[in-house]
């Protein structure tokens, strides 16, 4: 399953990357880590804090 | 072609790489043999030794001559395949041997596409004139070889003749072909370009120039004056759909000298211009 | 060196433009092929700067955060990347202390033990002690490993007045199947130390009067191990999916040292009262919370990115379960809609729901034996949360990226059936949360 190399034009787009905006993702991860009991999933972030 | 030529295939096996390489090598040699001005007996030799007589040419040569004629027009006479004879007085070996004006004037009598008759598949040069397809040939060869490689096999390939290159498709093992553009230090890539499709070509004097009294003379000559184009950039690289377009745009820009950047900025191209 | 792309504004340029058009046509005639595929070339940047300013504000005088975050990447040849990140957060505002509302005014000793604060009748007790600045740094190095692998290592550290974090991480990703499949594995190990203001209180002991820190012990530690295994797969030209399994093991001091539970009468549900000391103190009996000293979490995360006609849909789902008996589901959907050539709008909706921890208690019943573990931290409770927002992004004249997003985050929880005692049933007990998120980002490459 998959595509040939010359069919990857759309997949190479910045907005088609799994984490298109790393800063926004890191921000959200931190907000929800502070306010909810679940964390991560996508990968792991930059570390803990005393906010939970 | 006057430079190292390579074929890179991405993915596929050695057998496939060898097959594509031989196809490319055959085509490159065919073009080289047909259009080299160093070989006797080919169409260029017949044209250059015709002493004023018309020479009938085949379709491929005719296409190249039509192309050269168009370039002559759109460049305002700066791109001229009859200007090769100027090499008799200009030797770009890094030294300081600038020819005398009288010598240049002598040669200029034998330069100028406007003096050529090109019609009905027949080319007539005035006696003493010569044509040299060196300014078009390499890029043309890259494009012909790339088309060949693309139709011969499904493996992504990059055809690179001494820095004038084109790709058949994006590669397998990474998102794009990665090409370095030379900086002032000829061995270190200054910028990297991700090429997924299309071609790159470079005009420049990295290896051929003269220096006298601190002034650098690029090997790009203006056929209208017989002198190197003043204020020509040291190097211009252009990315375009085909190597021929990329090469011609970089050459035409180089021929503009001081206005090279303005010329390039007006086109819809990605370019790098270094002075 | 001058480098450039297109600029077609001046009229002389129209004339120059025709040179290229004529050349293109002439080349077609020369090569005798149908139009070649359009060129796709991009210069690789050496540097990538990504910075944002965030405002996070909860209503009703609760937490407000202004945060500056920056990630700088240096891109070397051969796909090697060095990245450095810095985040500075300034936090102000109050946070629920864990005690429940009463119909009478209440007073509490601050965590430092130095002073006390009052809460009017009927209000949710909020502790506004925390005005804090947190600084976090990350560093990472990534490089290819062989033809199809990518190796990454990094470390992280953060400091706030009562918390220190240090951590290392590493990951490896491998491409298969013509780069259509990527398998990855990573781990992160964190070693944190907690230095609560006034010292960590002994769990389930009472909040004492001002000046009395006899039930405090010293600094505490916590270790966290995270492991992530993932696979991503290209389904078609327009569709990419990913699935990750994560495991997280926390050991050590997992309590929140500042949170308490109200000890209430078994019939009325009202907090047992006491007389505060001369210099101030609690007006009721409040016990410091107690959580287990270990926690194991498992998550399954899946994401899809789908492109249709210029628009990109990003949808993900995560399921989490742990040995505190918390289960959660997260559904997150973004839809990026291009506007013209150089900007886009992206609505975003996130739905989150979790069940309460096994030891979650709204309050502690005086007439029953004390449980071993108990916490009334709303973050361990049973609640639903919704985020709804809009992001607008655009490319500046210099081809850099800017964006701004505004989101509303709201949590509403319920106290588990059977935990409401007496008069509590008539009050609004769960500290629901409403927050505004505004973030402005700027990204450029050189």
What digits encode the pLDDT tens for the residues C57-71?
999 889 999 999 999
Helix (H, G, I), strand (E, B) or coil at C153: strand
Q: How confident is the model at residue A50 (pLDDT cuts 50, 70, 90)?
A: low
Q: How confident is the model at residue C10 (pLDDT cuts 50, 70, 90)?
A: very low
End-to-end CA distance of chain B: 26
Q: What one-character DSSP code corresponds to residue B125?
A: P
Residues in CB range of B40: below 8 A, 6 or more apart: none
**Alpha helix ranges (H) inside B36-86:** 43-48, 59-74
C6 vs B269: CB contact, 8 Å cut-off? yes
C 335-354 residues with CB < 8 A to A: 336, 344, 352, 354
Say how many C-beta atoms besides its own lie within 10 A of residue C125's C-beta. Answer: 25
Say how far apart CA C223 and CA C213 lie, in whole Å. 26
Q: How confident is the model at residue C6 (pLDDT cuts 50, 70, 90)?
A: very low
Residue found under tokens 């595509």 = A3
Element at C354 (helix H, strand E): strand C343-354
Three-point CA angle C31, C33, C36, nearest 5°: 100
Question: What dihedral angle (degrees, nearest 10) is formed by the CA atoms of C30, C33, C37, C39?
Answer: -10
End-to-end CA distance of chain C: 13
Angle of the B243-255 helix axis to the B59-74 helix axis, nearest 10: 40
CA distances from A15 to C18, C71, C252, C394, C445 (A): 34, 18, 40, 13, 16
B169 vs A8: CB contact, 8 Å cut-off? no
Q: Above 80 in pLDDT, residue C53? A: yes
Q: Tell me, what CATH number does C61's domain have?
A: 2.40.160.40
Q: What is the predicted pLDDT for the residue at C32?
A: 82
Evaluate whether residue C176 is within a structural domain: yes
Question: Which residues of chain A does C230 touch, with a Cβ-Cβ cutoff of 8 Å?
Answer: 43
Percent of chain C scored above 70 by pLDDT?
Answer: 96
DSSP string, C358-407: TTB-SSEETTSPPPS-BB--GGGSEEEEEEEEEEEEEE-TTS-EEEEEEE
More confident residue, C147 or C118: C118
Say how many C-beta atoms besides its own lie within 10 A of residue B4's C-beta. Answer: 9
A12 Cα to chain B: minimum distance (Å): 7
Q: What is the pTM of this model?
A: 0.80
Three-point CA angle C328, C332, C333, nearest 5°: 160
CA distances from A7 to A25, B102, B198, C312 (A): 28, 59, 15, 17
Q: Lowest mean pLDDT: which of C30-39, C43-52, C159-168, C354-363?
A: C30-39
Q: Above 90 in pLDDT, residue C200? A: yes
pLDDT in tens, C249-301: 999 999 999 999 999 999 999 999 999 999 999 999 999 999 999 999 999 99
Q: Above 90 in pLDDT, residue C20? A: no
The stretch B191-206 carries a mean pLDDT of 86
Q: Above 80 in pLDDT, residue B10? A: yes
Question: Taking a C-beta distance cutoff of 8 angstroms, is the pair B215, B228 a contact?
Answer: no
B196 touches chain A (CB under 8 A): yes
The stretch C148-163 carries a mean pLDDT of 93
Question: Taking a C-beta distance cutoff of 8 angstroms, is the pair C19, B268 a contact?
Answer: no
Say how far apart CA C370 and CA C374 lie, in whole Å. 9
Q: Which residue of B has its CA nearest to C179?
A: B173
The stretch C327-346 carries a mean pLDDT of 95
Query: Of the ranges B172-186, C27-41, C101-115, which is most confident?
Result: C101-115
Q: How confident is the model at residue B214 (pLDDT cuts 50, 70, 90)?
A: confident
Question: Taking a C-beta distance cutoff of 8 angstroms, is the pair B54, B122 a contact?
Answer: yes
Print burial letters for C59-78: b (CB count within 10 Å at least 16), e (below 16).
Answer: eeebbbbebebbbebebeee
C74 strand-pairing partners: C47, C82
Counts of helices then strands in chain B (DSSP H, E): 7, 14
Q: How confident is the model at residue C46 (pLDDT cuts 50, 70, 90)?
A: confident
Question: Taking a C-beta distance cutoff of 8 angstroms, is the pair C353, C383 a contact?
Answer: yes
Q: What is the predicted pLDDT for the residue at A52?
A: 53
Question: Taking a C-beta distance cutoff of 8 angstroms, is the pair C81, C142 a contact?
Answer: yes
The stretch C148-176 carries a mean pLDDT of 94
The stretch B209-229 carries a mean pLDDT of 83
Say how many C-beta atoms besides its own lie within 10 A of residue C319's C-beta. Answer: 15
C445 touches chain A (CB under 8 A): no
Evaluate whether residue C394 is within a structural domain: yes
pLDDT in tens, A4-23: 877 888 888 889 999 989 99
pLDDT in tens, C308-319: 999 999 999 999
B/C interface, count of CB pairs below 8 Å: 147
Q: Above 90 in pLDDT, residue C363? A: yes
Q: Lowest mean pLDDT: which of B3-7, B79-83, C115-119, C278-282?
A: B3-7
Q: Above 70 in pLDDT, residue C73? A: yes
CA distances from B151 to B14, B63, B155, B246 (A): 18, 22, 10, 22
More confident residue, B92 or C425: C425
Three-point CA angle C140, C145, C146, nearest 5°: 160
Q: What is the predicted pLDDT for the residue at C8?
A: 40
Q: What one-character DSSP code corresponds to residue B113?
A: G
Say how far apart CA C147 and CA C350 lie, in whole Å. 38
Say how far apart CA A38 and CA C297 lie, in whole Å. 9
> Within a 13 Å sphere around the CA of C233, how many CA atoms are in the beta-carbon half?
7
B67 vs C33: CB contact, 8 Å cut-off? no
Q: What is the predicted pLDDT for the residue at B26?
A: 93
Q: Which residue of A has its CA nearest to B155?
A: A5
Say how far apart CA C387 and CA B216 lie, in whole Å. 64
Question: Which residues of chain B does C147 touch, with a Cβ-Cβ cutoff of 8 Å?
Answer: 173
Q: Is the four-CA dihedral C116, C119, C121, C126 of positive or negative sign?
A: negative
The stretch B119-140 carries a mean pLDDT of 90
Domain count, chain C: 1
Q: How confident is the model at residue B174 (pLDDT cuts 50, 70, 90)?
A: confident
Question: Which residues of chain C does B242 touch, with a Cβ-Cβ cutoff of 8 Å?
Answer: 27, 31, 36
Q: What is the predicted pLDDT for the residue at A5?
A: 76
Quote the distance between the C-alpha of residue C155 and its chain's center. 18
Q: How confident is the model at residue C16 (pLDDT cuts 50, 70, 90)?
A: low
Q: How confident is the model at residue A25 (pLDDT cuts 50, 70, 90)?
A: very high
Q: What one-character DSSP code corresponds to residue B94?
A: S
CA distances from B275 to B186, B234, B268, C77, C369 (A): 14, 5, 21, 24, 85
Q: Above 80 in pLDDT, residue C2? A: no
Q: Above 60 in pLDDT, residue C120? A: yes
In this structure, what token pair is assigned to residue C88? 């500075």
Compute the mean pLDDT over every residue in chain B, rounded to the nearest whole number: 87
Say how far apart CA C242 and CA C255 lie, in whole Å. 34
Which structural domain range is residue C441 located in?
48-445
Say how far apart CA A52 and CA C254 lie, in whole Å. 9
Q: Above 90 in pLDDT, residue B116? A: yes
Q: Which of B214, B219, B210, B266 is nearest to B238 (CA)?
A: B266
Say how far apart CA B135 and CA B71 lie, in whole Å. 11
Angle of the B134-152 helix axis to the B243-255 helix axis, nearest 10: 160
End-to-end CA distance of chain A: 42
Question: Which residues of chain B does C173 touch, with a Cβ-Cβ cutoff of 8 Å?
Answer: none
More confident residue, A32 or B84: A32
At residue C232, φ and ψ (nearest 5 deg) are -125, 145
The stretch C228-234 carries a mean pLDDT of 95
B263 Cα to chain C: minimum distance (Å): 7
Q: What is the predicted pLDDT for the residue at B142?
A: 95
Say how far apart CA C192 and CA C194 lie, in whole Å. 7
A/C interface, count of CB pairs below 8 Å: 172
Three-point CA angle C47, C49, C51, nearest 5°: 175
Q: What one-character DSSP code corresponds to residue B105?
A: H
C 107-136 residues with CB < 8 A to A: 134, 136
More confident residue, B267 or C408: C408
Residue found under tokens 């509303």 = C408
Question: Taking a C-beta distance cutoff of 8 angstroms, is the pair C184, A43 a contact?
Answer: no
Q: Which of C279, C233, C273, C223 is nearest to C253 (CA)?
A: C223
Q: Above 60 in pLDDT, residue C1? A: no
Quote the distance between the C-alpha of residue B139 and its chain's center. 6
Percent of chain C scored above 90 by pLDDT?
Answer: 78
Q: Which residue of C has its CA nearest to A33?
A: C379
In this structure, what token pair is assigned to residue C261? 């539970």
> Best residue in C14, C20, C74, C341 to probe B by mutation, most B CBs within 10 Å?
C20
Q: Above 70 in pLDDT, residue C34? A: no
A 1-52 residues with CB < 8 A to B: 4-6, 8-9, 12
Q: What is the predicted pLDDT for the residue at B229?
A: 87
Compute the mean pLDDT over every residue in chain C, rounded to the nearest whole number: 92
Residues in CB range of A2: below 8 A, 6 or more apart: C177, C178, C180, C181, C233, C234, C235
Q: How confident is the model at residue C54 (pLDDT cuts 50, 70, 90)?
A: very high
Q: What is the predicted pLDDT for the residue at B180?
A: 84
Q: Which fold has domain B175-275?
A: T-fold (3.10.520)
Evaluate whether residue C11 is within a structural domain: no
Q: Above 50 in pLDDT, residue B177? A: yes
Q: What is the predicted pLDDT for the residue at C35?
A: 66
DSSP string, C418-446: T---GGGGGS--S--EEEEEEEEEEEEE-
Q: What is the predicted pLDDT for the residue at C147?
A: 84
Among the partner-chain residues A3, A10, A36, the one whose CB lies closest to the CB of C180 is A3
C165 vs A23: CB contact, 8 Å cut-off? no
Question: Taking a C-beta distance cutoff of 8 angstroms, is the pair C200, C255 a contact?
Answer: yes
Q: Is the four-CA dihedral C276, C281, C284, C285 of positive or negative sign?
A: negative
On the 0-12 / 13-18 / 19+ scale of CB atoms within 10 A, C320 is buried
Q: Above 50 in pLDDT, residue C9? A: no
Q: What one-character DSSP code corresponds to residue C155?
A: E
Say how far apart CA B200 and CA B203 lie, in whole Å. 10
On the 0-12 / 13-18 / 19+ scale of CB atoms within 10 A, C28 is middle
In this structure, what token pair is assigned to residue B11? 């993915």
Q: Above 70 in pLDDT, residue C3? A: no
Question: What dihedral angle (degrees, nearest 10) is formed by the CA atoms of B1, B4, B8, B14?
Answer: 110
């Amino acid at each position: 399953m998959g595509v040939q190399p010359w069919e990857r034009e759309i997949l190479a787009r910045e907005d088609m990357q799994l984490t298109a905006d790393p800063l926004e993702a890191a921000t959200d991860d931190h907000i929800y880590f502070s306010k909810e009991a679940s964390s991560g999933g996508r990968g792991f972030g930059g570390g803990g804090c005393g906010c939970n | 072609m006057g430079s190292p030529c390579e074929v890179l295939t991405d993915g596929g096996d050695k057998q496939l790489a060898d097959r594509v390489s031989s196809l490319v090598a055959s085509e490159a040699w065919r073009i080289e043999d047909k259009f080299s001005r160093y070989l006797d007996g080919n169409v260029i030799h017949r044209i250059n030794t015709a002493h004023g007589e018309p020479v009938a040419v085949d379709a491929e040569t005719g296409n190249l001559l039509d192309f050269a004629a168009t370039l002559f027009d759109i460049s305002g006479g700066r791109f001229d395949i009859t200007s090769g004879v100027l090499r008799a007085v200009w030797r770009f070996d890094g030294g300081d041997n600038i020819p005398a004006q009288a010598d240049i004037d002598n040669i200029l009598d034998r330069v100028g596409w406007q003096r050529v008759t090109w019609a009905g598949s027949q080319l007539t040069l005035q006696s003493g004139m010569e044509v040299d397809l060196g300014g078009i040939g390499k890029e043309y060869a890259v494009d012909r070889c790339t088309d060949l490689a693309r139709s011969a096999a499904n493996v992504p390939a990059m055809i690179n003749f001494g820095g004038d290159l084109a790709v058949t498709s994006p590669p397998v093992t990474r998102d794009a072909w990665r090409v370095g553009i030379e900086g002032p230090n000829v061995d270190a890539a200054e910028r990297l370009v991700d090429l997924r499709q299309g071609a790159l070509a470079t005009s420049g004097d990295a290896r051929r120039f003269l220096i006298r009294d601190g002034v650098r003379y690029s090997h790009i000559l203006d056929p209208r004056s017989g002198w190197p184009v003043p204020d020509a950039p040291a190097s211009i690289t252009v990315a375009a759909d085909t190597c021929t377009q990329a090469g011609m745009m970089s050459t035409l820009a180089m021929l503009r000298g001081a206005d090279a950047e303005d010329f390039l900025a007006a086109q819809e191209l990605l370019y790098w211009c270094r002075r | 060196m001058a480098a450039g792309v297109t600029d077609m504004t001046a009229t002389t340029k129209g004339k120059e433009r025709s040179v290229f058009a004529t050349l293109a046509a002439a080349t077609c005639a020369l090569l005798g092929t149908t139009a070649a595929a359009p060129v796709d070339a991009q210069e690789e940047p050496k540097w990538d700067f990504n910075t944002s300013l965030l405002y996070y504000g909860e209503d009703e005088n609760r937490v407000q955060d202004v945060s500056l975050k920056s990630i700088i990447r240096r891109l070397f040849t051969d796909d090697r990347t060095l990245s450095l990140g810095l985040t500075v957060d300034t936090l102000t505002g109050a946070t629920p202390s864990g005690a429940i509302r009463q119909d009478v005014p209440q007073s509490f000793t601050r965590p430092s033990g130095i002073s006390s604060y009052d809460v009017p009748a009927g209000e949710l007790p909020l502790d506004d002690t925390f005005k804090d600045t947190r600084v976090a740094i990350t560093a990472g190095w990534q490089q290819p490993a062989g033809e199809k692998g990518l190796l990454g290592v990094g470390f992280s550290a953060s400091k706030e007045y009562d918390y220190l974090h240090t951590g290392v991480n590493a990951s490896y990703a491998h491409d298969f199947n013509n780069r259509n499949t990527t398998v990855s594995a990573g781990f992160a190990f964190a070693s944190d130390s907690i230095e609560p203001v006034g010292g960590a209180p002994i769990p389930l002991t009472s909040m004492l009067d001002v000046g009395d820190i006899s039930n405090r012990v010293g600094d505490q530690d916590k270790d966290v191990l995270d492991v992530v295994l993932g696979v991503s797969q290209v389904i078609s030209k327009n569709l990419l999916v990913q699935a990750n399994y994560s495991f997280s093991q926390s050991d050590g001091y997992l309590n929140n040292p500042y949170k308490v539970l109200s000890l209430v009468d078994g019939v009325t549900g009202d907090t047992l009262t006491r007389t505060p000391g001369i210099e101030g103190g609690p007006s009721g009996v409040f016990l410091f919370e107690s959580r287990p000293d270990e926690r194991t979490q498992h998550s399954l995360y899946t994401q899809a990115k789908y492109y249709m006609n210029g628009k990109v849909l990003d949808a993900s789902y995560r399921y989490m379960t742990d040995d505190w008996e918390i289960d959660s589901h997260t559904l997150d959907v973004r839809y990026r809609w291009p506007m013209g050539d150089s900007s886009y709008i992206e609505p975003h909706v996130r739905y989150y729901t979790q069940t309460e921890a096994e030891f979650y208690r709204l309050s502690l019943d005086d007439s029953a034996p004390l449980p071993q573990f108990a916490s009334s931290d709303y973050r361990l409770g049973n609640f639903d949360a919704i985020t709804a927002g809009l992001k607008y992004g655009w490319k500046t004249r210099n081809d850099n990226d800017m964006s701004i997003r505004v989101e509303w985050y709201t949590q509403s929880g319920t106290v588990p059936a059977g935990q409401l005692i007496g008069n509590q049933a008539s009050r609004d007990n769960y500290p629901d949360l409403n927050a505004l998120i505004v973030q402005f980002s700027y990204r450029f490459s050189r």
